[in-house]
A = this chain, B = another copy of it.
Amino acid sequence: MKIIITSGGTSEAIDSVRDITNKATGRLGQVMAERFLEAGHHVTFVTTKHALKPQPHDRLTLHLITNVTSLMETLEPLVKTHDAIIHAMAVSDYTPVYMTDFETVSESNDLSQFLTAHNAETKISSSADYQVLFLKKTPKVISKIKKWNPAIHLIGFKLLVAVSQQELFEVARASLIKNKADAIVANDLTEISADSHKAYLVTTSEAIQTETKQGIAEMVLTFLKQIEDEK
Indicate whether A134 reaches chain B with its CB closer than 8 angstroms.
yes
Interface status of A148 (Cβ within 8 A of chain B): no
Per-position contact with B for A127-169: 1 when CB-CB < 8 Å, else 0?
0111111111100000000000000000000011110000000
Structural contact, B133 and A17, CB atoms closer than 8 A: no
When all copies of this chain in the complex are counted, the total is 2
In the complex, identify which listed stretch (A18-26, A39-47, A175-183, A213-221) lies at the interface while the others stay far away. A18-26
Complex: A11 Cα to B36 Cα, angstroms: 34
> Which of these binds chain B: A81-89, A104-112, A199-207?
A104-112
Contact B16 A11 (CB under 8 A): no
A133 to B23, CA, bound (A): 18
Q: Residues of B contacting A22 with CB < 8 Å?
A: 17-18
Q: List 14 A-B contacts (CB under 8 A).
A: A16-B189, A17-B23, A17-B159, A18-B21, A18-B22, A19-B20, A19-B21, A20-B20, A50-B50, A105-B111, A115-B130, A123-B161, A131-B134, A131-B136
* 5 nearest A-B residue pairs (beta carbon): A93-B126, A123-B161, A122-B161, A133-B133, A106-B111
